[in-house]
Amino acid sequence: MSGKRGLFVSGLTLFILSAVLTSVSANDSTGDFKGKALVNDYCAACHEQTDKGGLTRISDVRKTPEGWDMTIFRMEHLHGLAVDSDDRFAIIKYLSAENGLSPKESAPFRYVLEQRAHFVDTAPNDDLDALCGRCHTNARYGLQRRTAEDWLKHMHFHVGQYPSLEYQARARDRFWWQEVTSKTYKELAELYPFQNADWDQWKAAAYKSPVGLWRVTGHRPGQGGYEGIMIVSRDGDFYKAEYDLNDMGQKGKSITGNSKSVIYTGYEWRGSGILNGTETREVYALSEDGNRMTGRWHDAIYYDIGGEFQAVRMDGAETQVLTQSSDYLRQGETKQIILHGTGLTGKASADKGLGLSIVHQDSNSVTLQITAGRNIAPGSYRVTVGQAETAIVVYDKIDRVKIMPEWTIARLGGGNTPPVSAQFEATAYMKGKDGDIKIGIMPALWLVAPFNADAEQMKDVDFAGRIDQSGRFMPAAAGPNPDRKYSTNNAGNLTIIGRVKDGDHQVSGKAQLIVTVQRWNLPPIR
Residues lying near another protein in the complex (CB under 8 A) are found at 5, 7, 9, 11-19, 69-70, 73, 77-78, 134-136, 161-164, 167-168, 171-174, 409, 411, 414-417, 451-452, 454-455, 457-458, 478-481, 485-489, 491-493, 514-517, 519-524, 526
* Ramachandran category for residue 488: left, alpha or beta (phi over 0 → left; psi -120 to 50 → alpha): beta
**174 or 183: CB nearest another protein:** 174
Q: How far is the CB of 21 from another protein (least distance, A)?
A: 11
* φ/ψ (deg, to 5) at 133: -75, -10
Cα(392)–Cα(240) distance, integer angstroms: 36
**228 or 306: CB nearest another protein:** 306
Q: How far is the CB of 521 from another protein (least distance, A)?
A: 6
SS3 category, 4: strand
**161 or 387: CB nearest another protein:** 161
**423 or 489: CB nearest another protein:** 489
Cα(334)–Cα(337) distance, integer angstroms: 10
Q: How far is the CB of 488 from another protein (least distance, A)?
A: 4
Q: How far is the CB of 172 from another protein (least distance, A)?
A: 4
Spatial contact of 497 and 449, defined as CB atoms under 8 Å apart? yes
**2 or 506: CB nearest another protein:** 2
**42 or 463: CB nearest another protein:** 463
Q: How far is the CB of 464 from another protein (least distance, A)?
A: 10
SS3 category, 404: strand
* Ramachandran category for residue 224: left, alpha or beta (phi over 0 → left; psi -120 to 50 → alpha): left
Contact residues for 467 (Cβ-Cβ < 8 A; gap 6+):
424, 446, 447, 448, 473, 474, 496
- Rounded alpha-carbon distances, angstroms, from residue 360 to 321, 344, 355, 357, 366: 15, 11, 16, 9, 6
Q: How far is the CB of 276 from another protein (least distance, A)?
A: 22
Q: How far is the CB of 292 from another protein (least distance, A)?
A: 26
* Short-list 268, 397, 425, 269, CA closest to 332: 397
Radius of gyration of the chain (CA): 25
**354 or 464: CB nearest another protein:** 464
